Structure 1
Amino acid sequence: MMKKLAQTSVLFAGLLSAGMAFAEYPTKPITMVIPYSAGGGTDVLARALQPALEKSLGQTIVVSNLPGGGGILGFTKVANARPDGYTVTIPNNVIFATEGMGNATYKSTDFSYLGNVLTEDYLVAVRADGPWQSWDELVADMKANPGKVKFGFSGFGGSTHVVSALLADIAGYEAKQIPHDGSGNAVLAAMGGHIDALMLNLVDLASGLESGKLRPLVSLGEQRLEDYPDVPTLKESGHDLSLTNWRGVAAPAGVDDEVKQAWAKALGEATRDPEFQQLIKSQGGVVDYVAPGEALDQRMSLLAESFIETAQKLKQ
């Protein structure tokens, strides 16, 4: 018996010395927490990435929708999870905005950023059967009738809340600001006539615009949108402001290099897939993959500084 145990120990040691890892990441399914309801831009992105990620990582990606608090509930769960790479999420500017507004217990530094996947413009849209044909008409109405127009966005204290409030301040109007639990609910509210206008990312607005029930009025990007060339930018309307959102993948802070390398490979392959690129383009986004590392950390740091500072001013 002792001889067999000794032989087993020698064999085990030999396998290790030959470089065979017994716990190479990942060895079990990975949960991707989506902090919003199904149907929104983040949910669409997760499910678009899912097949390619599963193929590259060799494990099942379990997409778990956990809406609440404009994203805070889901992001909190991930920030507090074990940093072993088996719980991830798809963040955006909202994690910086909620930190600045003081609505969340997590900080942007509580996440390890595994890759930026896409960037997208913020956009203001109205009900297609509403009275406003242009951004200038809507602004004039909101100035003439303070608090009359119901202006929706996704999540109290989130990025679209911050951008919406910032836009009202810059353009000098007053609207009835109405938060919704997730972009999908905001779009449904607008299409159903419960709100008059809304501020969301173009990817989140895609279903409403494609249905013809919503009309885009102005973009906050640097340039006019390829699919909506008649929609002016905010700068063209006389306001010196341009803002874009991003979506990527993040894990709890502290994941090791093995996890980062695995996700860098998987996200790199996923974002190069022609079908994925076409889907993102059709939704109004731009594939903008940045691998984990110094460049990504610097980008996140700059975005965090900008949004946290803006959000802090708004709550004063």
Structure 2
Amino acid sequence: MNKLTKSSVILAGLLSAGIAFAEYPTKAITMVIPYGAGGGTDVLARALQPALEKSLGQTIVVSNLPGGGGILGFTKVANAKPDGYTVTIPNNVIFATEGMGNATYKHTDFSYLGNVLTEDYLVAVRADGPWQTWGELVEDMQAHPSKVTFGFSGFGGSTHVASELLADVAGYQAKQIPHDGSSKAVLAAMGGHIDALMLNLGDLSSGLKSGKLRPLVSLGDQRLEEYPDVPTLKELGHNFALTNWRGIAAPAGVDDEVRAAWAKAIEVATQDPAFRQTIAAQGAQVDFMAPGEALDLRMTGLAESFIATAKKLKQ
């Protein structure tokens, strides 16, 4: 049974339980994006917006609220009324910030309404810089500890944890430089203010397509179709892989009617040709999962891994 079939079964079960979709939503929905405009999460939200509005029958207001590497926006959603009218697009960062102790919310303060996509972490450098390969960059960082500046999005966030994990696995020291959002990290790298950076592929997309950034290595399980010449860390001899996810979440406590309506809307939206074209152009993979036991188990597993790692990093 494929993912779409499984999701349809879940939806059928929700429908058979007597949930009336017509009762929700009855007004506009606010989708809080905890980062600035132009980053991967912002692009995803605006690509999803038309299809979600059509399916839900209501306006979705995309509201950018950057700050604290995502903490400000996620905090607003976690503390909102659990009525389905305030949602956000989370990722591994909510687990990382919980483990680092940087946020007041916990991952259990959110109700996961559906997974949308999965994407790889990549390391990139300025295209006209001195490093042509990941091996060259690692050699330089090993030979000159803390000389190379390595950027990421948000102190204590997902890409911070991923950067620290990578440094430990590959055996180097770099000067880690946090930025308030991925778009600022990309601009810093393109402008030569940092030497390298770690971000999700979607967040790096603008810099890579401009030709100003060069991807050196992927942390995914296999090479990316869009960048077939970029090796994975596993290929280079490290038994290590790490991916990110993006979905839709509301404050914990939303009722079954809301969950069912969003499950239906997300499933329909992720099949929309225009949306899939945008995601393909970003190099990400559509990976729809409906709310329910399977998605909750996935979130629990990711939370345990990221929280434990983040706690070690802050010691």
Task: Tell me, yes or no, whether TM beats 0.5.
Answer: yes
How far apart, in 1, do the equivalents of 2:160 and 2:200 lie? 12
Q: Percent identity?
A: 84
User: 1:13 — aligned with what?
Assistant: none
Summarize the alignment of residues 25-40 of structure 1 with structure 2, pairs less than 5 Å apart.
25-40=24-39
How far apart, in 1, do the equivalents of 2:21 and 2:37 lie? 36
Please list every run of 5 or more consecutive structure 2 residues that lacks an aligned counterpart in the other structure. 1-17
User: 1:284 — aligned with what?
Assistant: 283
| Cα shift readout 1:105-163 (whole Å, capped 9, x = no counterpart) | 10000000000000000000000000000001000001111111110000000010000
Q: 1:22 to 1:174 in 2, by over 3 A?
A: closer
User: 1:136 — aligned with what?
Assistant: 135
Q: 1:23 to 1:227 in 2, by over 3 A?
A: closer
Residue 47 of structure 1 aligns with an amino acid whose one-letter code is R
In the alignment, structure 1 residue 148 sits paired with structure 2 residue 151: no
User: 2:107 — aligned with what?
Assistant: 108
Residue 146 of structure 1 aligns with an amino acid whose one-letter code is P
How far apart, in 2, do the equivalents of 1:56 and 1:229 lie? 36
With the length of structure 2 as denominator, give the TM-score of the two structures. 0.93
Residue 306 of structure 1 aligns with an amino acid whose one-letter code is S
User: 1:82 — aligned with what?
Assistant: 81
Post-superposition shift, 1:241?
A: 0.8
User: 1:239 — aligned with what?
Assistant: 238
User: 2:267 — aligned with what?
Assistant: 268
In the alignment, structure 1 residue 165 sits paired with structure 2 residue 168: no
The farther-off stretch of 245-254 and 23-32 is 23-32
User: 1:187 — aligned with what?
Assistant: 186
How far apart, in 2, do the equivalents of 1:27 and 1:278 lie? 30
User: 2:297 — aligned with what?
Assistant: 298
| Cα shift readout 1:194-229 (whole Å, capped 9, x = no counterpart) | 111000000110000000000000000000111111
8 A contact 2:21–2:260 mirrored in 1: no
Post-superposition shift, 1:83?
A: 0.3
User: 1:56 — aligned with what?
Assistant: 55
How far apart, in 1, do the equivalents of 2:238 and 2:55 lie? 45
What's the secondary structure of 1:236's corresponding residue?
coil
How far apart, in 2, do the equivalents of 1:62 and 1:171 lie? 42
Post-superposition shift, 1:192?
A: 0.9
User: 2:217 — aligned with what?
Assistant: 218
Q: 1:149 to 1:24 in 2, by over 3 A?
A: same
Q: 1:23 to 1:235 in 2, by over 3 A?
A: closer
User: 1:45 — aligned with what?
Assistant: 44
Compute the RMSD of aligned alpha carbons.
1.2
How far apart, in 2, do the equivalents of 1:192 and 1:27 lie? 46
Post-superposition shift, 1:22?
A: 12
Post-superposition shift, 1:23?
A: 8.2
User: 2:10 — aligned with what?
Assistant: none
With the length of structure 1 as denominator, give the TM-score of the two structures. 0.92
Q: 1:55 to 1:180 in 2, by over 3 A?
A: same
